[in-house]
Structure 1
Amino acid sequence: MIGEEEVLRALRDIAGRHDPVPDDVLAAARASIGWRDPDAALAELTADSARERLVAVRGGGSPRLLSFFGGSLTIDVQATTRAGAVEVVGTVSPAVPARIVLESPTGSHVTDVDDEGRFRFQGVVAASVRLRCEPADGAPVHTEWVLL
């Protein structure tokens, strides 16, 4: 009689040969381990203009507006796709001295928040991303992952 473990092992072997996990998914999973920060607060997505649109237009250039709230910070973001790349402009409120890191499976971008709480990233690859706000005084805040 074949045991349960042997059946599971055979199924994993078949699935691995006929439908392997894509390399970019494996790379993202491995990279996510390095992105863990148990002391960080999670900023949850509280508003997303893409959810409110009746019809989505692929690459239409209209900005997507996102709002996140976590810890004591609100992070508002406008993401606009132009010529295959995404421009991300945002604000942190209250305006605090901080570093902002945009993380994705394809890499990270880093910038500082200006005196009015604003930040900007250009040339971002459309992918799953999250923002990490690292205030000079206080615990870091990570947004949820969103697909741009």
Structure 2
Amino acid sequence: MIGEEEVLSSLREIAGRHDPVPPDVLAAARASLSWRNPDAALAELVRDSLDRLISVRGGMPRVLTFLGGSLTIDVQVITRAGVVDVVGELAPVTAARVVVESPGGTHETTADGEGRFRIEGVTPGPVRLRCEPEVEGAFVPVRTEWVQL
């Protein structure tokens, strides 16, 4: 009699040969584990201008607001030529390292002394921001929830 574990093992092998997981899906899953930081606060999406726009001519930028811990992250998303530019501002105003994370890779910059930052050439798709203060105690490191750009 064949055991349950042997049947499951055979099914995994057959599925792996005939319908393998796409390489980009595996890469995204592995990359997501490297982005974990249990000490970072989660910033939730509290406003998305896309929710109010049905059809806009002229390509108005999308505006997102995230709130996490004591930090507010306002972001303007501009789509051009198949890529996305992310322009943002942190409140309270502080210098910080800002990283856009996506399955396509990471883009990093520094928010200036006015809390402003810009990252260009992000691949459209699921992204999240990571903000780490340059000044100890300015705020707890923050990661936004994933959003589709």
TM-score bucket of the superposed structures, by smaller chain: 0.7 to 0.9
> Is the aligned partner of 1:33 residue 2:33?
yes
1:82 maps to: 80
Runs of 5+ in structure 1 lacking a partner?
none
Q: What secondary structure sits across from 1:24 in the alignment?
A: helix
Structure 2 counterparts to residues 116-135 of structure 1, below 5 A: 116-135=114-133
**How far apart are the structure 1 equivalents of 2:4 and 2:56?**
46
Alignment of 1:1-148 (within 5 A): 1-54=1-54, 61-136=59-134, 137-138=136-137, 139-148=140-149
Taking the aligned partners of 1:54 and 1:3, their CA distance within structure 2 comes to 55
Q: In 1, distance between residues paired with 2:51 and 2:40?
A: 27
Question: For the residues of structure 2 that align with 1:132 and 1:107, how far apart are their CA atoms?
Answer: 13
Q: Give the TM-score normalised by the residue count of structure 1.
A: 0.87
Report if the CA contact (8 A) 1:102-1:129 is conserved.
yes
Percent same amino acid at aligned positions? 66
The answer to whether the 8 A contact 2:42-2:143 is kept is yes
Whether the aligned pair in 1 keeps the contact of 2:42 and 2:145 (CA below 8 Å) is yes
Residue 12 to residue 112, structure 1, CA distance change in 2 (3 Å): same
Give the whole-Å Cα distance in 2 for the aligned partners of 1:129 and 1:112. 18
Answer yes or no: is the 8 Å Cα contact 1:61–1:82 preserved in 2: no
Matched residue type, 1:102 = V
CA distance in structure 2 between the partners assigned to 1:69 and 1:103 by the alignment: 18
